[in-house]
């Protein structure tokens, strides 16, 4: 198993290392623990501009911990995280967004007591004054939340909340977007709509997405690269299309 | 042989992983069985506590007879602090509820005692004390019913309101309760048999002060004996479950509210007895004696010792008695006048509360016990590996 | 009739002070889920600072400004040094820390400024306005109290509604982790929040002291009233705190005026217990309140 793992991640490396080989985010040998429990055990991966990288795996595989460790919410116990040319392993959480990384946490992360518009404004606070046009662009992308901009965010539906937090993250003009389980609890139609939009954003702008998903089938349908985690370790890294084709792997780790 | 060791190791590990240490950690530490197996004490809890009680009683007599009358009166004060702190330990340490109203509950005990002893033909002291306990217990039940539905800051605020509000009644009913001046307490003299007893034991003078010190210490020992048995019984385990595993306890069919009320009632009964002892020792029941500072001093006592530990409550109470004269003298040496120097003690209570909560939330006894358990756990793990 | 008017007016003025104090508690509760039982002692400390400045010959207004500024400093430093370590931990630990601050600061005031009763001035008269030949219990000082609290509230509303710092503070209060991920310096916002709350608390302490006597424990009763007012309004809601403060001020004034002043604190307790048992979320809990 160990041999297969290293072979396929090497293959993944060459496969992704072709045309757009600029890693925005590079995670090397990252480890993290909750007390005595090792949640991440030497995870390495890279995310590149213009690509969606999906992190897949069962419940408890360490997917959410991986994102939280990358953005500094969980302290790493070993390894490195690089954003572009910069080592951000020990950078404070509050500084990440300034450096170009936007993290949308699990459970959507709207601030329920604030209005839709205020939620967006919080997302742009660190940039100083931001023109109205940028807000309008987010509202153009998500007309459904535009109608509700004056309402408190706790009145939004699950899909609307997801649109709001993605829109809010975009206002930070990130180089990389970390998304934690965006499909959770949403109707398939809404999931398809949101994933379609992500694809469009990544294709049209200088954006990279690191997507954590339990719903591997939908995630691989939109992603370029898949990273499969199991018990805090990377099992395999490969092109999404090849992961879908590998039936044994799908049955063993992806549950479809 | 290896089984109990493994158990201890597991529970020690549990506590280290719990990163923000709960103030009530000390109460979690298993104390009985593991240590009993190594010592000479009997394994049966009740029997063991009886042996400890007897040893403590002998020790207390020796202590009181070997020390000066001034120290005797200090031990009397220690007794009522410790009785109240012991009750608060049950409430806060075992059951996880805070109370700032225990000063006010002590006032109820003290005023009851003052009124009953002030009668033309006062009842025997034991009956008066029982009445004081009973009345405080009733009030405690009423407060407890309300308190059972509150938690943390809400409960602290509500009991704070009780502490600030109740003395107002002494002013409102000033014809009976004496208003701002309060009531004098007609403390009983030492009975004949006591004089005989002291004469037999040490030949010392059986003064009223000495008698009251004995009354306090007897009440203290009985209270702690009862509380210790309660804490180690099914009742104590249920309280801990209500505190730590609210949801699980409720699913297991435990009526959370009823158990919380029971904890408050037991705790209030202790406060009532403490107030009664305070009344006869101080010989005065006045609103100024039961300010919020008293309640916070009690809280300091149990927090320093480690919430949930009766021994800790006793040590903490000792600090309340012996620290103030010490720091007041220190303050006077530093050039403070009397009233300023008298404020050094509450100042230190406050600072100690803060420091203990930040640096060692398990308290003094709790921290030592934790360290010991961790060391044992590591040793056990090492032998298991080897 | 005149008595009713006077008791009502008195209740309104007192209610404004309770409202300000309750507001200070709510500001802190909202952002850190801590009830600051030390708020009263902190306010008393700044009042004694003001008193010292006045006694040194400065004007009331200089003393007021210095007191409010020192209130801010005290609040911010306390948050940074002793509250930060217990934030987000078990709630009992935080309660015990603020109680420790409560007695420690009170004792410190007594050590530094003495524990005797001292009179505190007010820049405005304490004689009631006269209409025809009746004098009502509304004094220039009470107008000053009402005005000062209103101005403070408007300033807070403006701060939270219309400024970027205010938005950042609200975001930090309601969604700490999300705010951090969005680049808000949550730690600073919490410090700022404690500082601001201490300013508001200090203001209520200074207002209640005006024209009366102060001693180290003079705010003890206000802590209870302010807490009851805040719980009445639902602890989470600044508007609720203001309404709760006014309501409580009126009720307690009626109790003092028609029953007995000795029953005021017991009435506050009774109101608190009834509210906590019947509507634990406060009188206005149906709105957006989210129970933690």
Domain ranges of chain B: 43-292
Chain C residues lying within 8 Å of B24, measured CB to CB: 90, 92
**All partners of chain A with 3 or more CB pairs under 8 angstroms:** B, C
**C77 Cβ partners below 8 Å, 6+ apart?**
none
User: Which among B336, A167, B374 is positioned nearest to C108, based on CA atoms?
Assistant: B336
* C38, C105 contact by CB (below 8 A): yes
Chain B contacts of C89, Cβ < 8 Å? 20, 361
CA-to-CA distance for B55 and B45, rounded, in angstroms? 15
Is A150 touching B (CB cutoff 8 A)?
A: no
Q: What's the pLDDT at A3?
A: 39
Q: Do C167 and A93 make contact, defined as CB atoms within 8 angstroms?
A: no
Distance of alpha carbon A31 from the chain centroid: 18
Domain ranges for chain C: 2-278
Q: Is B340 on the interface with C (CB under 8 A)?
A: yes
Place of tokens 């007594």: C110
Cα B178 from Cα B167, distance rounded (Å): 11
Chain C residues 115-154 within an 8 A CB cutoff of chain B: 115
b/e map C200-220, b = 16+ CB within 10 Å: bbbbbbbbbbbbeebbbbbbb
pLDDT recorded at residue B381: 67
Can you give the residue range of the structural domain that contains A73?
A: 2-254
Asked whether the beta carbons of B185 and B279 are under 8 A apart, the reply is yes
Hey, is the C-beta of B20 within 8 angstroms of any chain A C-beta? no
Q: Do A105 and C185 touch (CB under 8 A)?
A: no
Contact C92 B152 (CB under 8 A): yes
Search chain C and give the residue with CA nearest B98: C92
Beta strand A225-230 with A52-56 is: parallel
Is A232 in contact with A238 (CB distance < 8 Å)?
Answer: no
Q: Which two tokens stand for residue C33?
A: 């889920």
Residue B43 dihedral angles phi and psi, to the nearest 5°: -75, -30
Instruction: Write out chain C residues lying below 8 Å of B366, CB-based.
Output: none
List, in order, residues 6 or more apart from C106 with CB less than 8 Å away. B346, B350, C41, C44, C216, C217
A95 Cβ under 8 Å from any chain C Cβ: yes
Confidence of residue A55 (pLDDT cuts 50, 70, 90): very high
Cα(B134)–Cα(B131) distance, rounded to whole angstroms?
A: 5
Number of separate domains in chain A: 1
* A169 and A122 Cβ atoms separated by less than 8 Å: no
The CATH number of residue A151's host domain is: 3.40.50.300
What value of ipTM does the predicted structure carry?
Answer: 0.88
Answer whether C290 sits within 8 Å of A113, measured CB to CB.
yes
Going from the C-alpha of C227 to that of each of B99, C88, C224, C245, C248, the distances in angstroms are 16, 21, 5, 9, 11
Distance of CA B241 to the CA centre of its chain: 21
The pLDDT, as a whole number, for residue B333 is: 87
Task: Give CA–CA dist A76/A73, Å, rounded.
Answer: 9
Number of inter-chain CB pairs under 8 A, A vs C: 75
Q: Do C93 and B152 touch (CB under 8 A)?
A: no
- C-alpha distance from B154 to closest chain C C-alpha (Å): 8
B172/C contact by beta carbon, under 8 A? yes
Query: Are the beta carbons of A36 and B19 separated by less than 8 Å?
Result: no
The answer to whether B292 faces chain C, any CB pair under 8 Å, is yes
- DSSP for residue C125: -
pLDDT per residue, tens digit, chain B (386 aa), is 334 433 333 333 333 333 455 666 555 544 444 444 455 667 777 888 888 888 888 888 888 888 888 888 899 999 999 999 999 998 988 888 889 999 999 999 999 999 999 888 888 899 999 999 999 999 999 988 888 888 888 888 989 998 888 888 888 888 888 888 889 888 888 888 888 888 888 878 878 888 999 999 999 999 999 998 888 888 888 888 888 777 777 788 778 888 889 999 999 999 999 999 999 999 999 988 898 889 989 998 988 877 778 888 999 999 889 988 888 888 888 888 888 888 898 999 899 889 988 887 776 666 777 777 777 777 776 666 54
Architecture of the C2-278 domain: Orthogonal Bundle (1.10)
Global pTM?
Answer: 0.84
Task: Kindly give the confidence (pLDDT) of every residue in chain C, 292 residues in length, as a single tens digit, with 9 standing for 90 and above.
Answer: 888 999 999 999 999 999 999 999 999 998 888 999 999 999 999 999 999 999 999 999 999 999 999 999 999 999 999 999 988 888 888 889 999 999 999 999 999 998 899 999 888 888 888 888 888 888 899 999 999 999 999 999 999 999 999 999 999 988 889 999 999 999 999 999 999 999 999 999 999 998 889 999 999 889 999 999 999 988 888 889 999 999 999 999 999 999 988 888 889 988 998 888 888 777 776 444 333 3
For chain A, the average pLDDT equals 85
Classify residue A7 by burial, with Cβ atoms within 10 Å: 0-12, 13-18, 19+.
exposed
Measured in angstroms, the CA of B356 and the nearest CA of chain C are apart by: 9
Q: Does A18 have pLDDT greater than 50?
A: no
A102 backbone dihedrals φ, ψ, rounded to 5°: -110, 130
- Report the pLDDT value the prediction gives residue B10, as an integer from 0 to 100: 37
The angle subtended at Cα C116 by Cα C115 and Cα C121, nearest 5°, is 115
Contact A31, A40 (CB under 8 A): yes
| Contact call for residues A102 and A84 (beta carbons, < 8 A) | no
- Compute the distance between CA of residue C167 and CA of residue B383 in angstroms, rounded to an integer: 57
pLDDT for the residue numbered B20: 53
Distance CA B217, CA B202 (A): 17
Give the pair of three-digit tokens for residue A214.
């339990």
Q: Count of CB contacts below 8 A, A vs B?
A: 4
Are the C-beta atoms of C10 and C253 separated by less than 8 Å?
yes
Phi, psi torsion values for C171, nearest 5 degrees: -60, -40
């Amino acid at each position: 198993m160990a041999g297969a793992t290293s072979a396929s991640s090497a293959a993944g490396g060459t496969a992704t290392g072709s045309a757009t080989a600029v890693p925005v985010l590079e995670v090397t040998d990252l480890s993290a623990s909750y007390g005595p429990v090792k949640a991440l055990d030497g995870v390495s991966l890279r995310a590149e501009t213009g690509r969606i990288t999906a992190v897949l795996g069962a419940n408890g595989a360490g997917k959410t911990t991986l994102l939280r460790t990358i953005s500094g919410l969980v302290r790493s116990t070993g390894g490195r995280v690089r954003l572009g040319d910069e080592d951000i392993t020990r950078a404070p959480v509050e500084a990440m967004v300034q450096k170009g990384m936007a993290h949308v946490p699990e459970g959507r992360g709207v601030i329920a007591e604030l209005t839709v518009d205020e939620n967006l404004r919080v997302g742009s606070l660190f940039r100083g004054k931001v023109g109205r046009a940028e807000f309008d662009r987010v509202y153009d992308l998500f007309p459904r939340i535009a109608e509700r901009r004056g309402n408190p965010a706790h009145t939004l539906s699950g899909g609307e909340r997801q649109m709001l937090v993605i829109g809010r993250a975009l206002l930070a003009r990130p180089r990389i977007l970390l998304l934690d389980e965006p499909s959770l609890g949403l109707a398939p139609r809404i999931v398809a709509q949101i994933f379609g939009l992500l694809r469009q954003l990544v294709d049209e702008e200088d954006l990279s997405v690191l997507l954590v998903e339990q719903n591997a089938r939908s995630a691989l349908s939109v992603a370029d690269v898949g990273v499969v985690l199991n018990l805090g370790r990377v099992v395999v890294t490969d092109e999404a299309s090849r992961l879908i084709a590998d039936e044994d792997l799908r049955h063993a780790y992806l549950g479809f | 042989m290896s089984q109990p060791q493994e158990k201890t190791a597991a529970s020690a590990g549990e506590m280290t992983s719990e990163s923000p240490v709960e103030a009530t950690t000390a109460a979690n530490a298993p104390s009985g069985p593991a240590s009993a197996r190594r010592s000479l004490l009997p394994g049966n809890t009740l029997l063991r506590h009886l042996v400890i009680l007897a040893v403590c009683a002998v020790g207390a007599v020796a202590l009181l007879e070997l020390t000066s009358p001034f120290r005797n009166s200090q031990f009397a004060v220690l007794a009522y602090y410790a009785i109240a702190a012991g009750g608060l330990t049950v409430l806060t340490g075992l059951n996880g509820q805070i109370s700032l109203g225990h000063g006010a509950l002590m006032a109820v005990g003290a005023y009851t005692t003052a009124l009953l002893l002030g009668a033309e033909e006062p009842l025997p002291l034991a009956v008066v004390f029982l009445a004081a306990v009973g009345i405080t217990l009733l009030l405690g039940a009423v407060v407890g019913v309300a308190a059972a539905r509150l938690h943390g800051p809400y409960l602290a605020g509500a009991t704070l309101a009780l502490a600030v509000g109740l003395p107002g009644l002494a002013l409102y009913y000033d014809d009976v309760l004496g208003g701002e001046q309060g009531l004098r307490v007609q403390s009983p003299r030492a009975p004949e048999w006591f004089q005989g007893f002291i004469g037999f034991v040490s030949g010392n003078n059986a003064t009223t002060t000495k008698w009251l010190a004995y009354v306090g210490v007897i009440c203290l020992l009985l209270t702690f004996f009862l509380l210790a048995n309660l804490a180690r019984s099914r009742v104590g385990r249920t309280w801990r479950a209500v505190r730590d595993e609210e949801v699980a306890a409720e699913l297991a069919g435990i009526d959370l509210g009823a158990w919380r009320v029971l904890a408050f009632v037991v705790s209030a009964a202790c406060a009532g007895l403490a107030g009664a002892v305070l009344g006869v020792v101080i010989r005065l029941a006045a609103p100024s004696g039961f300010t919020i500072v008293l309640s916070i001093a009690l809280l300091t006592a149990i927090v320093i010792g480690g919430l949930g530990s009766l021994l800790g409550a006793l040590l903490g109470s000792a600090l309340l008695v012996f620290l103030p004269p010490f720091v007041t003298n220190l303050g006077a040496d530093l050039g403070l006048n009397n009233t300023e120097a008298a404020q050094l003690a509450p100042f230190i209570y406050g600072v100690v509360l803060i420091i203990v909560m930040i640096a060692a939330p398990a308290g003094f006894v709790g921290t030592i016990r934790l360290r010991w358990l961790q060391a044992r756990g590591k040793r056990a793990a090492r032998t298991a590996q080897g | 009739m005149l008595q009713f008017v006077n008791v009502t007016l008195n209740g309104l003025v007192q209610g404004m002070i309770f409202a300000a104090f309750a507001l200070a508690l709510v500001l802190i509760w909202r952002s850190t889920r801590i009830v600051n039982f030390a708020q009263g002692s902190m306010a008393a400390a700044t009042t004694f600072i003001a008193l010292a400045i006045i006694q040194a010959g400065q004007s009331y207004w200089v003393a007021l400004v210095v007191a409010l500024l020192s209130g801010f400093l005290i609040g911010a430093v306390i948050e940074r040094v002793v509250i930060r370590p217990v934030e987000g931990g078990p709630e009992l630990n935080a309660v015990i820390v603020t109680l420790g601050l409560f007695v420690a600061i009170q004792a410190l005031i007594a050590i530094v400024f003495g524990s005797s009763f001292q009179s505190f001035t007010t820049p405005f008269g304490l004689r009631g306005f006269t209409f025809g030949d009746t004098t009502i219990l509304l004094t220039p000082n009470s107008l000053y109290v009402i005005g000062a609290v209103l101005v403070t509230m408007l300033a807070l509303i403006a701060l939270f509604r219309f400024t970027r710092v205010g938005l950042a503070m609200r975001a930090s209060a309601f969604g700490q982790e999300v705010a951090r991920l969005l680049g808000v310096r949550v730690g600073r916002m919490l410090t700022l929040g404690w500082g601001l709350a201490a300013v508001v608390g200090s203001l209520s302490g200074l207002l209640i002291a005006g024209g009366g006597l102060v001693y180290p424990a003079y705010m003890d009763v206000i802590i209870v009233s302010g807490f009851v007012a805040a719980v009445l309004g639902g602890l989470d809601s600044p508007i609720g705190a203001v309404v709760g403060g006014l309501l409580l001020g009126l009720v307690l004034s009626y109790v003092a005026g028609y029953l007995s002043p000795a029953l005021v604190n017991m009435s506050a307790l009774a109101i608190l217990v009834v509210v906590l048992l019947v509507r634990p979320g406060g009188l206005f809990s149906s709105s957006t309140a989210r129970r933690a």
